[in-house]
Structure 1
Amino acid sequence: MRAFDFSPLFRQTVGFDRLFDHLAQSGGLEPAPNYPPYNIERTGENAYRVTLAVAGFSRDDITIETRENALTIRGAQQSAPEAQNREFLHQGIAARAFERRFQLAEHVVATGASLENGLLYIDLVREIPEAQKARRIEIGAAPRPVETKPVEVKAA
């Protein structure tokens, strides 16, 4: 039997938790690491947080965009003139440009973002329209049968 690698689906979607829980239980799949490293966590029943490790990037270096159920994060450091004259003996801090895309489930929207201590936090919420939410219908008493009277037919 062939084994399929579903890790790209785990890494790039938000809001499909139940599906991936079933896949993970059946196959024991783990997401593969990538640059920049990130976490996707559930913070509530319909709330999520994507955290990216973006050490060395400032607010001005990062753009966040949502379009057609896709969340795109781009990072590119602005090169300062004094940075070009530096000579590194060892450069272990990655400062390369990146673009990370996440596929969002229907009705998942980004509500905010913050950058703190080299971590970029993006908060997402699933906002289900009122018309699509489950509604409880109360069961009332049975309606009484309508009394009917026989119709008299008159001959003409």
Structure 2
Amino acid sequence: MTTIDFSPLFRSMIGFDRFSNALETAYRSEPGGYPPYNVEVSGENDYRVTMAVAGFADKDLAIEVKENILTVSGARGDEEETAETRYLYRGIANRSFERKFQLADYVRVVDARLENGLLHVDLRREVPEAMKPRKVEIRTDQSRLIESEKLRAVA
């Protein structure tokens, strides 16, 4: 297995230690698979995962978010299977699946809906106010002395 040395990045980037783990996971994961899906960007902070889940009803699907991992799973019952049914060819998959997506910090599921055989999961990144950029005032030694003198004059 190929390992990538991220130490040059860590010299100037603070708090990105999980970045290397995410890349290693992406490198190990298999491309494609079942069911097929799209990941769309519909705005600066809005995303959508669309999965082709033809044949699955909403009761057959489950969506869970735990520790920044979005898990979409589906399991169809065998109620359609009867002894009377004979197939000459069976090309429609009737198998269970589980797809996992690693979510970035502050990304949450906003909506999920099933329409025309497609499952749409809408996501939004909502950065808290405390985490947004803010301006930091730079003080000089003179301004610090003035503040100290004002405090002494008041006392």
TM range (shorter): 0.5 to 0.7
Structure 2: unaligned runs, 5 residues or longer: 5-22, 150-155
Alignment partner, residue 113 of structure 2: 114
CA-CA distance at 1:87 after TM superposition: 1.4
Structure 1: unaligned runs, 5 residues or longer: 13-30, 149-156
Equivalent residue letter for 2:42: T
Aligned residues: 123
Alignment partner, residue 39 of structure 2: 40
Alignment partner, residue 61 of structure 2: 62
Q: Which runs of 4+ in 1 moved over 4 A?
A: 136-139
Largest Rg, 1 or 2: 1
TM-score, normalised to structure 2, is 0.68
Over 3 Å counting, the alpha-carbon distance change for 1:7 and 1:115 in structure 2 is farther
Identity %: 49
Over 3 Å counting, the alpha-carbon distance change for 1:8 and 1:36 in structure 2 is farther
CA-CA distance at 1:32 after TM superposition: 2.8
Partners of 1:39 and 1:77 in 2: how far apart?
Answer: 22
TM-score, normalised to structure 1, is 0.67
Alignment partner, residue 84 of structure 1: 82
Question: As a proportion of its length, which structure holds more helix?
Answer: 2
Equivalent residue letter for 1:110: V
